[in-house]
Amino acid sequence: MKKTILFLLFLCALLNGVAQTNSRKTSHTYPQRDNTHRIMSYNIHHGRGMDNAVDIERIGRVINEVNPEVVGLQEVDSVVNRSGNIDILHLLSEQTGMHASYCYSILHDGGKYGNGMLTREKPVAVKKIALPGATEARTAQIVELEKYVVVNTHLSLNADERLESVKIITDEGKEYDKPVFLIGDLNATPDSEPMKFLNEEWQILSNPKTPTSPSINPLRTIDYILGYTTNGQTYARHNARVVDERVASDHLPLFVDIRLKTPASEVMRTIPYLQNPGTDEMTVMWLTNVPTRSWVEYGTDPNDLQRARTFIEGEMVANNKIHRVHLSNLQPGTRYYYRVVSQEITRYSSYYKEFGDTVRSDIKSFTTWSDDIRDFRVIVYNDLHSNMGMFNKLHSLVEDKPYDLVIFNGDCFDDVEVEEDILNRLLTYTPRIKSDEVPSIFIRGNHETRGEYSLHLWDYLGRMDGRSYSAFSMGDTRFVLLDCGEDKPDDHWVYYDMNDFTQHRINQAEFLKNELRSRAFKRAKKRILIHHIPIFGVKPDSFSPCSDLWIPVLKGAPFNVSLNAHTHRYRVIEKGEDGNNFPVVIGGGSREPDGTVMVLEKNGDRLTLEVINAAGELLLKREL
């Protein structure tokens, strides 16, 4: 019985802790913009409310409802008789789950009294400085965090001492090379001398037109949040609010949501990666860490670049982190120089916008394709399944010679559950394949259709002709790329009745028919078919989703080779072995030593295919 009671008590405590944690994660009452910092100030009157009750839990509920990143508290008792000999800041720290930093100003009534701060992250450093206070000693609490510094204070009732105090605090602000915020009860109205002084080197971020004291029928603004500006910092204010909480204290709490200017070195998240290559076009994509307005500067002369931006029905695509600029009307077989440019947007509202630094990448170049191309080298990967070590190993075997295109033939962005799954792979693939100078094409495998974030995958990758299947020519060689979809029937239980690839495959059968009749296909000297799931050499009892639809169309198609994947086992199906009119080469998997990389190399009229495994062994070298 005793064990049962203890278990129930533990369970209740656990559930209560979870509830409190969840309440801290999201503030439904006061929604907050992404990439902003919420800073709060609250004179808590040692927890004694307007009902004369000392209720620390009530103060904690106010803080949790606002859900700040930092809250500076004034008039905080620590083991003082009048508030019940409790450690107020410690109790609030437990209730909010935030780190506590205490800075007492005076010894009072058996304990200490002063300023306290709660922060979500553990402070880098905490210090206290003395301020003028003849009648009552005053201090400023300085808490340094990773990205900024917060000065929390409660200034003297004497006007001269207040003016001297803000001068001392301003001198302290000069010592930091990161943003500095001043928060607290300054006991000064907006038109007072201390505030006039602060306005010279600080920006008032809270709303001085909204009174903060007393909490019932407030008449005066004496509580503030400011940002130091003389060190070059700018602050985009997205929200400034005084909270209508009239009982918990004799002051109203206030908070601001601020977006800081991102250091120029941190604006770009990826290098550019080239997509949708062609004879007269190229798409340039890249990611930033923060919302920006972005464009591409390009031209045949690196010293004379023109600007290209993306517009949708007259409106520039901006305030986003995924950037896609399509360059069109380019000249075939021409080398173009380019760089990507992103300017951070710190505030984007209907009639007012603020910007951070403008960041430019290094100038890179690419060459458009031409009908006259006779020589090229194309690298093909498949089934990497997040094994970035395998990818790096395979690429080290083929990167010594220049290459013109990289194709990822499915299951290279597999099982995308969250955005980070896409980003982590991009951050590995793009620099290694030199994506800012060599274009790449991504073909969807069956695993790319899975995961909570899978539908967003094409936001980060280019689709030629706006589809997951396409055809293009590199000189006299025609490439046809198909998307097989999933590898199980649509009604399989694992898909929860959320798949239907039937029409998608039918559309591709029609696409194939038209492609085989097209002038580009007929005039090509070499023809390459690439798709993830094989349709030839399939066991009779295996589900082959595309075979019945595509094999009749491909029966007499004059492809030189079909490059496939999916089975994780290297295999060659010779022409005619399973009714196929062309050889089929299937790549390996993602484990040692089965991983493979394929290399298509064309020299004049000679086209060769090499397959190399992770051990560096040449499994196949064949002229096609």
Residue type, 212: T
Instruction: Determine which of 26-40, 157-171, 267-281, 460-474 has the lowest per-residue pLDDT on average.
Output: 26-40
Rg (CA), the chain: 32
Considering the chain, what is the average pLDDT of its residues?
93
CB atoms under 10 Å from CB of 598, counted, come to: 27
CA dist., res. 206 & res. 398, Å (int): 58
pLDDT digits (tens, 9 = 90+) for 52-65: 999 999 999 999 99
CA dist., res. 483 & res. 474, Å (int): 20
pLDDT at position 8 is: 43
CA of residue 136 relative to chain centroid, distance: 49
- Coil, strand, or helix at residue 470? strand
Average pLDDT of the segment spanning 108-114: 93
**Residue in 109, 61, 58, 100 with CA at minimum distance from that of residue 249:** 58
Average pLDDT of the segment spanning 134-153: 96
Q: Is 52 in contact with 80 (CB distance < 8 Å)?
A: no
Q: How far is CA 145 from CA 41, 99, 126, 181, 293, in A?
A: 17, 11, 9, 11, 29
pLDDT at position 28 is: 63
- Coil, strand, or helix at residue 75? strand
**Residue in 272, 180, 186 with CA at minimum distance from that of residue 221:** 186
CA dist., res. 259 & res. 239, Å (int): 10
CA of residue 254 relative to chain centroid, distance: 30
Residue type, 117: M
Backbone angles phi, psi at 198, to 5 degrees: -60, -35
Backbone angles phi, psi at 602, to 5 degrees: -120, 130
pTM, two decimals, is: 0.83
pLDDT above 90: residue 134: yes
- Coil, strand, or helix at residue 592? coil
Q: Confidence class of residue 398 from pLDDT cuts 50, 70 and 90?
A: very high
Q: How far is CA 319 from CA 194, 292, 293, 343, 344, in A?
A: 38, 5, 6, 10, 8
Mode of pairing for the β-strands spanning 584-586 and 561-564: parallel
Structure tokens at 543: 């589900």
Q: Is 472 in contact with 278 (CB distance < 8 Å)?
A: yes
Structure tokens at 179: 């943003």
Instruction: Determine which of 4-18, 39-53, 89-103, 115-129 has the lowest per-residue pLDDT on average.
Output: 4-18
CA dist., res. 211 & res. 250, Å (int): 12
pLDDT above 60: residue 122: yes
As a residue count, the chain comes to: 624
**Residue in 214, 245, 252, 249 with CA at minimum distance from that of residue 50:** 249
CA dist., res. 37 & res. 255, Å (int): 10
pLDDT digits (tens, 9 = 90+) for 484-493: 999 999 999 9
Residue 203: exposure state from Cβ atoms within 10 A (0-12, 13-18, ≥19): middle
pLDDT above 50: residue 23: no
CB atoms under 10 Å from CB of 251, counted, come to: 23
Q: Please, which residues bridge with residue 325 across strands?
A: 284
| Secondary structure E strands in 349-395 | 353-360, 364-367, 376-381
Q: Confidence class of residue 231 from pLDDT cuts 50, 70 and 90?
A: confident
pLDDT digits (tens, 9 = 90+) for 570-604: 999 999 999 999 999 999 999 998 999 999 999 99
Domains contained in the chain, CATH given: 31-260 (3.60.10.10), 264-367 (2.60.40.10), 376-623 (3.60.21.10)
Average pLDDT of the segment spanning 265-293: 96
Instruction: Determine which of 64-68, 427-431, 486-490 has the lowest per-residue pLDDT on average.
Output: 486-490
Q: Please, which residues bridge with residue 584 across strands?
A: 562, 573
Q: How far is CA 95 from CA 17, 18, 21, 243, 414, in A?
A: 9, 11, 9, 20, 41
Structure tokens at 567: 């089975």
CA dist., res. 466 & res. 408, Å (int): 17
Average pLDDT of the segment spanning 515-541: 95
Q: Is 182 in contact with 229 (CB distance < 8 Å)?
A: no
